[in-house]
Chains A and B, each alone.
Chain A
Amino acid sequence: MIPVLLGVVAITFALAHANINLLISEYEGRIHTPQARAAVLATLHLNGPFIVQYLYYIGALFTGQWGFTAPLDPYGGGRSVLSVFEMRFPPTAELALVATFITIALSIPIGVLSAVKKDRPVDHATRLLALFFVSIPTFWFAYLVLLAVSPVSSLVPHFLRLNYPTGQINYAQYAFVGNTGQLQPWVLTGQYSGLTRPTGFLLVDTLLYGDIPAFLDGLKHLFYPAVVVGLTSFGYFVRFMRSSMLETLGQDYIRTAKSKGIPTNYVIKKHARRNSFGPTTTIMGLFFAGLLGGVVVVEVIYGWPGMGTWLYEAAIYDDLTSIVVTTFIFAIVIVVANLIVDVLYAYLDPRVRLE
C-alpha cells in the first residue's frame, strides 16, 4: 500500500507543479508584485531542488495545509481548502456509500440467480439489463431520470435542499444549534453561533438528533442520485458476480456437497455463495474507482454539493489547489477501499490468511 500511496502523491505533485505559473498566481492572489512573487517562490521552495519541493509538498499535504481557493471562486476566493473539504466530503461519501450499498444489494442476489438459472430467461434478461446499464452514458441516464421524474414525482433531487417546514434550506450549509442544549431544528448558518455538525453526514446527523422528518427528507433527495450511480455500477458488478458464481458452481466440492444429499438451495447458499465472493471482492477495488467517476458526473447534474461539483467548479475557475486536493482525496479513498477489500478477502478465504 505504501508505494501506491507515494505514487499517488507523486502524481498529484506532478499535477500541482506542472503549470508553475498557475500555481504561483494561485498563491499570489490579487497582488502581482515582484516581491509577492518572490515570497511565494520562497514559501513553496520553488527555487530549490526537486526533492525539497517534493518533501515540502508531502509535508503540507499530510498536515492539512492545503492552501486557499482561487480568487475567482464563486463562493468567495481565499477560503481555506481544508474547510471547503470538510463541507464537501460528507455528501460525496454519503452518495458513494449508499450507491455502493444499492449496487451490492442488487448484484449479489441477481448475479447468483442468473448463474444458477444459466441460459434460462432470467439469465438472459439479467445479462441484457447489465449490458444496457454499462452501455448507457451516465450523464445521459442521469438527465433522463431527472426529466422523467421531475414533472411527476415529489422526489425531485434537483438541488440538494431540505424541504423544511419553514422553506428550502441549502443542505451544504445546514447545522444544528448546539449551545441551547436542546434539540433544535436545522437552521441556516451565519445566523447563530455555537453550531454543531457532529459527523457532517446528513443522514447520520439527523438520526443522531432524532430529527426523523429531516432524515426522511434527506433520503428522498439522496434517492435518485444514488439509484443512478448504483444502477450503472450494478451493470458491471452483476456480471462479475455471475461469472464468479458460475466458476464456483463448476468446482468439485459442489459435486461432493451434492453427493452428500444436501438439498440444492443449501448447496448454493452455503457452499457456492461464500466461495464466489472471494474473486468479486478483488474486483470491487477497481470497480470503486469507476463508481467514483460516476459519482462526479451525477453530482454535477443533480447539483449535489460534494467533491464532484467542487472539482468541476474548480476546473472551470482554474482553482489549482482545489483540483489537486480533490484528486488526492479521491485517490486516497480508493487506496483505502482497496485495503479494506483485501482484508475482507482474507476474512472470506482462509487460504489467503497468513499462518
Chain B
Amino acid sequence: MTSETKNIKSGAALSRSLRSRLESFKRTLYFLTRNPLAVFGLSVTIFYVLVAIFGPFFVPGNPNYMIQILQYKGKYIYNTPLPPSARFPFGTTFGGYDLFNGIVKGARTDVFMAAIIVFIGAIIGIILGSIAGYKGGVTDDVIMRTTDIFLSIPFLVLAIAMLAILGRTLEIMIFAFIIVWWPTYTRIIRGQVLTIRELKYVEASKAAGASSLRIILRHVIPNSVYPLFVQASLDFGNVILGFATLNWLGFGYSTQNLAEWGSIMSLATIQGTSAVFKYSWTLLVPGIVILIFVLSLNFLGDGLRDVLDPRLRR
C-alpha cells in the first residue's frame, strides 16, 4: 500500500468512525429523552450552567463577590435580613448581602470549580487508568495500591487537614479535591481497559502491527469513556457539595463576601440558631438552590447510566 492510499483509507475510516460516533450519540440522546427524570435533570443542569456562564454579566457588582447593601429604605439591614421581595427576589442575608445576586454569582464559582476539578481528575484518571489497565503487572499494582491509599482517607478530613496546614488558598483547595477524586476515575478507566483489551478487535489491531499507544488512543479510550461520563456527571454534584461544605465550615479561601453557595449559607448561622429560625430564608433559599442542582445532576447521571449500561453489556 502506498502512503497515499494509506492516508485515504485511514481518513475514510476516521470519517466512518466519526459518523458512527454521531449515530450512537443521537441514539443516546433519544433514549435519554424517554426518561422524564433525566430530561428534567438535563434541562435544569443546562439552565444552571447557562446562569453560571452568563449570569454574572447581568447582575450588578463584581462577578466574584456579593454586593453589600448596608442601608435599605433608611434602615440598617446588617443584622436584619430582608425577606424575599420585588427588589430582592431571594431576600437578603446577614451582613446585608443580596441573596439573589450572590447566588447567581455563586453559580459561576461553584460550577467552574467543579468543572475544573472533574475535568482534571478525569484526565488524570484516563491517563493513569489506561496505563494501569493496559500495561498490567507491576505498574498496575503500584497504581492500584496508590488509589487504595487515597481512597482510605475521607475526603473532608484530608481537605480540612491540607487547608489548615498548607494554607487556605484556592490552589490548595483544588489540589485537595483532585487528590481525593482521581482514584475513582482511574479505577473506572482501568476496569474498562481490562475488559476492552481482551476484545477481539484489539487483538486484531495488535496483529496488524499497531503500536500500543495507537491502540490505546484509538480503540481503548474512546470505548471506555462511557462510564466515565456517568461518573463525572454524578461527581459534579458531589464536588459541589464538598466545596460548599468546606466553605460553610470556613475552611475555604473565602472571605465573608465571597459569592459561593456554601459561604452564603454559613452567613445564615452567624447570629446563632434562634436567629436562623426567624430569618429562615437565609438558610433555606441557598440550600434549595444547591439541592435542586445536585438533584438534577444526579437525575442526569442516573439517566445516562441507564442508557449506556445495558448497551455496554451487549
Number of interface residues of B (CB under 8 A): 45
Residue in chain B with minimal CB distance to A124: B37
Q: Are B154 and A296 in contact (CB under 8 A)?
A: yes
Give the A-B contact count at a CB cut-off of 8 A: 137
A114 close to chain B: CB less than 8 A: no
Of the stretches A41-49, A195-203, A223-231, A313-321, the one at the interface is: A313-321
B287 close to chain A: CB less than 8 A: yes
Which residues of B have CB within 8 Å of A311?
Answer: 157, 160-161
B294 close to chain A: CB less than 8 A: yes
Q: Are A318 and B164 in contact (CB under 8 A)?
A: yes
B166 close to chain A: CB less than 8 A: yes
Given the contacts A4-B152, A11-B149, A296 and B157 also touching, CB distance less than 8 Å: yes
B162 close to chain A: CB less than 8 A: yes
A143 close to chain B: CB less than 8 A: yes
Given the contacts A292-B157, A293-B156, A323-B165, A135 and B145 also touching, CB distance less than 8 Å: no
Q: Are B151 and A139 in contact (CB under 8 A)?
A: no
User: How many residues of A sit at the interface, in one of the four size bands?
Assistant: 35 or more
Of the stretches A172-180, A182-190, A330-338, the one at the interface is: A330-338
Residue in chain A with minimal CB distance to B160: A315
Q: Are A334 and B287 in contact (CB under 8 A)?
A: no
B28 close to chain A: CB less than 8 A: no
B53 close to chain A: CB less than 8 A: no
Interface membership of chain B positions 277-308, coded 1 if the CB is closer than 8 angstroms to chain A and 0 otherwise: 10010010001001100110111001000000
Of the stretches A15-23, A61-69, A81-89, A256-264, the one at the interface is: A15-23
Given the contacts A4-B145, A334-B153, A137 and B299 also touching, CB distance less than 8 Å: no
Q: Are A286 and B298 in contact (CB under 8 A)?
A: no
CB contact between B291 and one of A15, A136, A326 (< 8 Å): that residue: A136
Question: Closest 10 CB pairs between A and B?
Answer: A7-B149, A315-B164, A293-B156, A135-B294, A135-B295, A293-B154, A140-B287, A292-B154, A334-B152, A331-B153
Residues on A lying within 8 angstroms of B by beta carbon are 3-4, 7-8, 10-11, 15-16, 18-19, 22, 127, 131-132, 134-140, 143-144, 146-147, 150-151, 286, 289-290, 292-293, 296-297, 300, 311-312, 314-316, 318, 320, 323-324, 326-327, 330-331, 334-335, 338
